[in-house]
Structure 1
Amino acid sequence: MTKEQISIFKEKALKYASNFEVCCYLDSHQYQDKYGKHDCLIAFGKEKELIAPVGNAFSLLKTFVKQNKDWMFGLLTYDLKNEVEDIQLLREDRLGFPDLFFFVPKYLISIKDDEFKIVKGEVDIEKIWNTPITDEVRRYKLNIQNNFTKEAYLDHIEKIKQHIKRGDVYEMNFCQEFFAENVEIDPLITYKQLTEVSPTPFSGFFKIGNKYILSATPERFLSKRGEILTSQPIKGTAKRSKDLTEDLAIKNALKNSKKEQSENVMIVDLVRNDLTKSAVKGSVKVDELFGIYTFPQVHQMISSISCELSPNIHFIDAIKNTFPMGSMTGAPKLRAMQLIDQYERSKRGAYSGSFGYINPDGDFDFNVIIRSILYNEENQYLSFQVGGAITYQSDAEKEYEECLLKASAIMSVLKN
């Protein structure tokens, strides 16, 4: 099929799949990725599911995987950190995503190289092609609020820098929530608008009952191909410019920024340490350091770290050993997470967690839930969070501006 036909098919298939109680749609938007096996996966309907609270969620997931040698798609929320480390802070949860959710789909479609394949189930392709789609653009008048005033945010940055000065942490990821109440959105149209503004390689649409994740994330958390684990943390962000000469200058400045390199290498070291827990001795390596990748809204600094999975380690334990991802915590990880609980004002929940797939061979690919809209249709609560890495060199004003830059794609959709 042509690229245009594939694009139409994907949109129709997603709309068809979204009529089921559960569906997970993963789309790379044609980004070339040597670690990825699929351009797009569309899973819908459920044969089996696992809903597990913090406590023994990873153990239950391991059992679920052993009992079901099948495709499965799922969500790992940030709050599973409380199971990895002995830390827990109770905050109001207005989104209500399960701490861990996985399902074995009834139907699965894979798209690769402009061809689609029915991987599982008797999918009625004619029904999909006959599914009507709309070019409608929704213009929302949302009262988007922030749980930090600018002054409070700047004050918190200075407090965090004092912890860094004392040696409590070297780097900490600090986030703020934007939210809207009594909101009615069309999740499909909103996701379409978001990905038109910001097409990214790990984007996805995840529906769990009346809860939705609309994601334009550019970041991979962890993948497994054969016995090779790969993590690709992002640390380092710069705005784009419509002027090509200026845009190239901004990109080169990011590439050569000692501050951004310092932030990035701290997380690279953390990820190397996390992977060591699951690796064949001596196999952890940095495949790419300080790679610069360009997206519609921003340039990003991305590093790639890999290892060979030890035959003594189950791959679910490898996920647990690296969770939550270092790019969304800081270093050292435990103290950074304790300070996150102390200084952030919202429950992260699905934000800075991960969703993705596991195939019957035990290979998997999971993203990092950033640049994403979270929506509870039942109580009409919408939320998105943004954050950045705080080091002692951080300029509070610039960190605040970076947060607004990261939120710009979502803001442009919701305030269209």
Structure 2
Amino acid sequence: MSFPRTNSRKSPLKRKRLRPCHLDYANERLWEHSYLREKCKELNLEEEYRYYQVRLMVSNLTIFYVLFIILAMSFLTIELLYVQHYNAVFFNFVIRVVSTILVLTVLSINFCEKFVSRHRWVMIASSVLSVYLVVLTDIVMISYHFYKNDWPLNTSFDVFTLCMIYMFLPIPSIKGAALLASSVSLIYVAFFMHSLTFNAVYTDRDSFGYDVISTDILHNLGFNMMGIFFRIMNDTMVRASFLDRHQFIMEETWLRHALLQESILLDSILPPQIAKPVQEKIKSKITQSENSPDRFQMGPRTTESFMAIQIHPDVSILYADVVNYTHLTTTLTVGNLVKVLHDLYGRFDIAASNFKVQRIKFLGDCYYCVAGLTTPDPDHAKCCVSLGISMISNIQEVRAERGLDIDMRIGVHSGSLLAGIIGEAKLQFDIWGTLG
């Protein structure tokens, strides 16, 4: 009986694909205002956020300066073109110029960022004073023209003042901005109710009543609600961007620290002249894998030959092995034997670092290292001899502390050798040569 031959290799189309990542947007709180406030407090960033907020408000204040000057000039231009009473135009010109200068002067103190950051009340006080200057200017001008020229009592800056409070003035607190805007709305509503008695537009009994007043109240209420919503959304976006920036800086700091730790670890294993090309090779492989369209597919394993070999013509090698190591393996447990070797080789590594000798590796009871490998040193032989003397002292200390019959055989040779990395699946640094 014959069975049909099956192909054991799967088609690329039948490979197992990665499962999509499902997010529950119903429970996502990343853009909630309360969550962002809690996150800032949790990370102890509230004070830093306040400084960041002051900088943004100062930049917004610069935009307000330009808009406020343009608005004042626009009013003056319209009055010059369409108002026939030049005495009234002159009065408006003087009042607007004086008011504009006073408002801009009062708010200019906020450009001293360090000062207002230490004294937050200055921002609030300057904002309140500038707002009431604008409101007072508006009411004084329309009242003057009502009694002097019989003009109707129509306010001009009520909506602008509310926009000014919620969008431009440096008021850090949303509640503070809402209270200031509410007080301005109450002033304008009260003035509007007072003007109904005198304004000729509302002398008709059909037009006079609570419907007109309620319309004005609802107008101010709706605009205040819109302003509060704007401040909440603006604070949410600013906090989110601030936390994102903080996370980016922290991750960059962690990455730099990780790279430094990686470099220190690699330099402790390999000489710097070997470690650098290894790092560059690994980075190039990562870049190639990221740019490959099949980086998420489990395809056949590909290997690349990597070999970094260097010739060192003038170095010294120190080779040491433990005497009575075989006896120790029969008398000590595996755990105690490992502890002894760890203690001994740890002392050797510290001494090798002090004498600028590169440890290559250790195999069981064998320990060997090279001087003049990392950086050329004419005293490489002296360094190895000094290290050997230090190793004798270290093993005497271990023998006395642990009560073991242990000793070292140490040999030092000078000459040339080859050093580098070989291997495919697992890279290995080693040395080769004939020293004599």
TM over 0.5: no
Q: TM-score, length-normalised on structure 1?
A: 0.19
Higher strand share: 1
Q: TM-score, length-normalised on structure 2?
A: 0.19
Work out which of the two has the higher radius of gyration on C-alpha atoms and give 1 or 2. 2
Higher helix share: 2
